[in-house]
Amino acid sequence: MGRHGTIANRKAAQDSKRAAMFTKYARQIIVCAKNGGDPNFNPALRVAIDKAKGIGMPNDNINRAIKKGTGELGGETYEEKTFEGYGPSGVAVIVECLTDNNNRTTAFVRSTFDKNGGNLGTPGCVSYMFSRKGVIIIDSEGLDEEEVMMAALEAGAEDMNVNEDSFEVITDPGAFNDVHEAIKQAGYDIVEAEIEQIPSMQANVTDEAAIKSLTKMIDILEENDDVQNVYYNCELPE
């Protein structure tokens, strides 16, 4: 099984957290729309809208978020905040947030680490173990691996991994929008597209209690509206 799991498992997880994901994606759209509300001229906004539509967010919600970002509607101002630390068994963890209250978010993240056997660290303490990359997940059903790889590489991708039911296209962050657009124009079914923190070294956690605590910590973090993404350098059971 690949790092992202199967498409079925990923969609099941999305369905179970749909309302929370609406909130998270709305915040992404608001932040992206600050650089322009027309997705034809704002690639980051276009990707955010595609992700929101992919989980079934209504157009009214999307348009309202765009208008909040451009200032047409009054709304919250969100700040990007990144936390780094260690989970149980020394697993490296990065937490990316969009928050309208830095004190609230910092207190929540610190408390979640402390209560679950982790330790919130200083900026840079674990980020050196990760590389920032664009990741585009394509449903591989009925597709030719070499054909998709050639299309991705010609568009500027760095590599492609083959998973159980998907292809995982890896890009430099600067090429992410171009590769995403090329894959979309080629008619491939994009299941997920993000700029992520990919671990360059993996921790091997075998202690069941540590795995349970780490899984609980990550679940609590991901369920919070302020938290956009949680990255860690170990494999956890589905």
pLDDT at 143 over 60: yes
In tens, the pLDDT along 48-94 reads 999 899 889 999 999 999 999 999 988 778 999 999 999 999 999 99
- Give the pLDDT mean for 184-206: 91
Residue that the structure tokens 């729309």 belong to: 33
Query: Taking the domains of the chain in order of start, what are their residue ranges?
Result: 7-70, 79-128+201-232, 129-199
Please determine whether the domains at 79-128+201-232 and 129-199 fall in the same fold group of CATH.
yes
What's the confidence (pLDDT) of residue 238? 66
In tens, the pLDDT along 148-171 reads 999 999 999 999 999 889 999 999
In tens, the pLDDT along 86-135 reads 999 999 999 999 999 999 999 999 999 999 999 999 999 999 999 999 99
Q: Which two tokens stand for residue 120?
A: 């919130």
Per-residue exposure over 204-220, b if at least 16 CB sit within 10 Å of its own CB, e if not: ebeeeebbebbeebbeb
In tens, the pLDDT along 4-43 reads 667 666 666 666 567 778 999 999 999 999 999 999 999 8
Q: Which CATH architecture has domain 7-70?
A: Orthogonal Bundle (1.10)
Residue-averaged pLDDT of the chain: 91
pLDDT at 3 over 70: no
DSSP state of 215: H
DSSP state of 187: T
Cα(61)–Cα(55) distance, rounded to whole angstroms? 12
What's the confidence (pLDDT) of residue 4? 65
DSSP state of 138: E
Cα(221)–Cα(204) distance, rounded to whole angstroms? 22
Q: Is there a contact between 93 and 118 (Cβ–Cβ < 8 Å)? A: yes
pLDDT at 2 over 60: no
Q: Which residue stretches of the chain are H helix? A: 7-16, 18-33, 43-54, 59-70, 102-115, 145-155, 176-185, 208-223
Q: Which CATH architecture has domain 79-128+201-232?
A: 2-Layer Sandwich (3.30)
Q: What are phi and psi of 9, to 5 degrees?
A: -65, -40
H-run or E-run covering 191? strand 190-199
Q: Which fold has domain 129-199?
A: Alpha-Beta Plaits (3.30.70)
